[in-house]
Chain A
Amino acid sequence: MPPAIVISSVSKQYGSFTALDDVSFQVEQGEFFALLGPNGAGKTTLISSMAGLTRQSAGSIRILGHDTVSDAYQARMKLGVVPQELVFDPFLSVRETLRFQSGYFGIARNDDWIDELLAKLGLADKAGSNLRALSGGMKRRVMVAQALVHKPPVIVLDEPTAGVDVELRQSLWAFVRELNAAGHTIVLTTHYLEEAEALCSRIAMLKKGRLIALEDKAKLLAHSNKRDISLKLSAPLPASLQALHVRDEGERVVLRLPDIAAIESLLATLRTAGVEVREMTVIETDLESVFMRMMQGGAA
């Protein structure tokens, strides 16, 4: 069983600009995988290379064992991509769009599956509408349907929820989860880190074209053993604890502990100093804080 995606030493130069710098990783079949990074990190370039929209300057990519350059036909048959930019053909209705897209993939009659897609994506009553008449969110749903006309085993969504209302985000993720449960491999990029945290099992982080982290979500979060703790104290923070001090939040002080176990000695020190703890909150590590720390150059 070949991995869903194998990326081997992929680099991409645009003139003197390096968009991707020796990126390698693989995604196993059935995974729900997130590709994170700030704007300009190379996420879309990497996705475009997988899809054959961009030709990498070096390295190779295989989709379910098919090289995206030498075996492009099979690689594209296995892959469904939802591009980031909202694009559509203004001459066509929703159903025509999906029928034509099916035809490009060699499928002559696809109306049963198209009807199912329309129903799942809440587009059933828009089937006859021209794309121009649809809202941005609706157009986005059509793009998702277009990527799925050929039932690709590997699905890549490049920021599918950018600029999309909350309701659609919920229903879209429910649908994508369903596809994942049915065995489809899902790769997504998103700006909403809580989405990646809620959905994905494994995460790759890109920064300036380089892969800077590739972990299980749990490990990535656990990596960040440091815990921030917010305290409301009866007296000023003892001098011996100043080293842990991160910031003040009103009456509270925020301390950073090397790990959660250090809370014992913290409390002991406070007791010894005669300082009483009035309130205490442990600030949970989330992907956002890990992400911010990594992008600022620190290790997780």
Chain B
Amino acid sequence: MQGFLTLLRKEVLRFWKVAFQTVAAPVLTALMYQLIFSHVMARHADVYPGVSYTAFLIPGLAMMSMTQNAFANASSSLIQSKITGNIVFLLLSPLGPLQLFAAYLAAAVVRGLVVGAGVIAVTIGFGLPLPVSLPWIFAFALLGCGVLGTLGLIAGIWAEKFDQLAAFQNFIILPLTFLSGVFYSIDSLPPVWRALSHLNPVFYMIDGFRYGFFGHADVSPWLALSVVAASFIILSALALWLIKVGYKLRH
């Protein structure tokens, strides 16, 4: 337990020491999206009845920022340790696969939640109503960060160079988050795109998270929860297995 807590503290400290870049910057980015999209789209986009586009956008932006930062935290920490070589100090220690996994994951979730709270704080003035259900909000915030944190861990283990990681981020994570209904309700899409969106796990994170705020969503929150939880379990099992066999870590 001590080992897990130590690694978690180190991982949190790692991003917190550069919080300007790891927390403030994504919050500012989200605020820019909020300003620009609400200005351009407010009169054009149809979303939920009784919910303004500017309010609709907030949970989507928050979830997008949370997931991207959870991913970035685990993946960039791992690749930096691998490239600088200081991961050897972890590998020499008796920390087991579960402790390593849990510490990286928890730090990713912490970063995601801190960024998410920041995004909500700076955008709340755009007319976000009182949330309908806090439990749904927290369930999706935690699981959303968990899924992308785990994916970040896997990408960090797999990548040997920064550009491989950047490719993973730009060609997989970014399309999945942008095409998940952050900026629109997928109900407004043509049937083919709507069907495709239903294959994207990030869509369920955002949809469920939004349900917590508005009590209204594209699919049932239970379905969304099942998809997100299943994604988390599958990816966690994969990540744990990779660490256990020492894939690209212990040669």
| Chain A contacts to B: CB under 8 angstroms | 14, 48, 51-55, 72-74, 76-77, 79, 81, 83, 85, 87-91, 100-108, 146-147
Known: A103-B7, A104-B7. A72 touches B94 (CB 8 A): yes
Tell me how far the C-beta of A77 lies from the nearest C-beta in chain B, rounded to whole angstroms: 5
Flag whether B127 is at the interface (Cβ < 8 A).
no
Is there an interface contact between A104 and B3, defined as CB atoms closer than 8 Å?
Answer: yes
When C-beta atoms are compared, the residue in chain B nearest to A85 turns out to be: B85
Which residues on A sit within 8 Å (CB–CB) of B44?
Answer: none
- Mark interface residues in B70-96 (1 if CB within 8 Å of A CB, else 0): 000000000001001110111111111
Is there an interface contact between A104 and B95, defined as CB atoms closer than 8 Å?
Answer: yes
Which residues on B sit within 8 Å (CB–CB) of A101?
Answer: 89, 93
Within the complex, which residue of B10, B84, B250 is in contact with A100, where a contact is CB–CB below 8 Å? Answer: B10
Tell me how far the C-beta of A51 lies from the nearest C-beta in chain B, rounded to whole angstroms: 6
Is there an interface contact between A55 and B251, defined as CB atoms closer than 8 Å?
Answer: yes
* B residues 55-112 in Cβ contact with A at 8 Å: 81, 84-86, 88-96
Which residues on A sit within 8 Å (CB–CB) of B92?
Answer: 51-53, 76, 79, 81, 83, 147
Within the complex, which residue of B2, B84, B91, B96 is in contact with A103, where a contact is CB–CB below 8 Å? Answer: B2
Which residues on B sit within 8 Å (CB–CB) of A146?
Answer: 89
- The B contact surface, by secondary structure, is helix
Tell me how far the C-beta of A209 lies from the nearest C-beta in chain B, rounded to whole angstroms: 16
Is there an interface contact between B93 and A104, defined as CB atoms closer than 8 Å?
Answer: yes
Q: How far is the CA of A88 from the CA of B86 in the complex (A)?
A: 5
- Other than the given A76-B92, A107-B2, 12 more pairs (CB < 8 A) read A14-B251, A53-B88, A85-B88, A87-B89, A100-B9, A100-B10, A101-B89, A101-B93, A105-B94, A106-B2, A106-B94, A108-B2
Q: How far is the CA of A76 from the CA of B99 in the complex (A)?
A: 15
Flag whether B164 is at the interface (Cβ < 8 A).
no
Tell me how far the C-beta of B107 lies from the nearest C-beta in chain A, rounded to whole angstroms: 13
Q: How far is the CA of A66 from the CA of B240 in the complex (A)?
A: 24
Q: How far is the CA of A192 from the CA of B251 in the complex (A)?
A: 28
- Mark interface residues in B193-205 (1 if CB within 8 Å of A CB, else 0): 0000000000000
Can you offer 25 A-B residue contacts whose CB atoms are under 8 A?
A48-B251, A52-B250, A53-B88, A53-B91, A53-B92, A53-B250, A54-B250, A55-B250, A73-B94, A74-B94, A85-B88, A87-B84, A87-B89, A90-B84, A100-B9, A100-B10, A102-B6, A103-B5, A103-B7, A104-B90, A104-B93, A105-B3, A105-B94, A107-B2, A146-B89
Tell me how far the C-beta of B20 lies from the nearest C-beta in chain A, rounded to whole angstroms: 14
The 9 closest A-B pairs by CB, nearest first: A103-B6, A104-B93, A87-B85, A76-B94, A106-B2, A73-B94, A89-B86, A87-B86, A100-B10
Which residues on A sit within 8 Å (CB–CB) of B2?
Answer: 103, 106-108
When C-beta atoms are compared, the residue in chain B nearest to A100 turns out to be: B10
Known: A53-B251, A55-B250, A91-B17. A104 touches B89 (CB 8 A): yes
Known: A53-B92, A73-B96, A85-B85. A106 touches B3 (CB 8 A): yes
When C-beta atoms are compared, the residue in chain B nearest to A77 turns out to be: B94
Flag whether B246 is at the interface (Cβ < 8 A).
yes
Q: How far is the CA of A107 from the CA of B1 in the complex (A)?
A: 10
Flag whether B39 is at the interface (Cβ < 8 A).
no
Flag whether B14 is at the interface (Cβ < 8 A).
yes
When C-beta atoms are compared, the residue in chain B nearest to A88 turns out to be: B86
